[in-house]
């Protein structure tokens, strides 16, 4: 018996070349887990606000707290998670902790996500 929903095949068949190509691109479990961790980390609106704020440049925890309207301990907690996933990096200058985005890949991930939602009719401002 076959499912007749519009979103499924009406006959069962395997396209062996497509399957072979897809299997050749398969990721390792380690890579999938790491990628999943990154996307889970990016799946939090507060962390996305921090990333968006850091797009304007390096900032200390106090400045981030002022921009975001959050307690500095709450910001620090989120920054620790972002740092552990190598999404942000830390630079200490005496007693002041400065954070910035880890690399251009983070900017690209964030920017592509914004483009995607904007292309789907969601205003970014």
The pLDDT value given to residue 52: 97
What predicted TM-score, i.e. pTM, was given to this entire model?
Answer: 0.82
pLDDT of residue 4: 53
Number of alpha carbons in the 13 Å side-chain half-sphere of residue 57 = 1
Query: Distances in Å between the alpha carbon of 96 and those of 26, 61, 62, 88?
Result: 43, 8, 9, 16
Q: Given a cut of 70, is residue 47 above it in pLDDT?
A: yes
Judge contact between 82 and 89, C-beta under 8 A. no
Q: Which domains does the chain show, CATH number per domain?
A: 30-119 (1.10.10.10)
What's the pLDDT tens digit per position in 10-19? 889 999 999 9
Q: How confident is the model at residue 1 (pLDDT cuts 50, 70, 90)?
A: very low
Higher pLDDT, 125 or 42: 42
Q: What is the CA radius of gyration of the chain?
A: 20
């Amino acid at each position: 018996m076959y499912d007749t929903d519009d979103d499924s095949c009406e006959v069962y068949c395997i396209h062996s070349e497509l399957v072979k190509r897809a299997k050749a691109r398969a990721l390792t479990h380690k890579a999938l887990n790491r990628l999943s961790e990154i996307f889970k980390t990016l799946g939090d609106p507060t962390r996305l606000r921090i990333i968006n704020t850091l797009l304007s440049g390096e900032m200390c925890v106090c400045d981030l707290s002022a921009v975001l309207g959050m307690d500095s301990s709450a910001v620090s907690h989120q920054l620790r998670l972002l740092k552990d996933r190598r999404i942000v990096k830390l630079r200490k200058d005496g007693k002041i902790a400065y954070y910035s985005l880890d690399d251009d890949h983070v900017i690209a991930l964030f920017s592509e996500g914004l483009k995607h939602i904007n292309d789907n009719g969601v205003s970014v401002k």
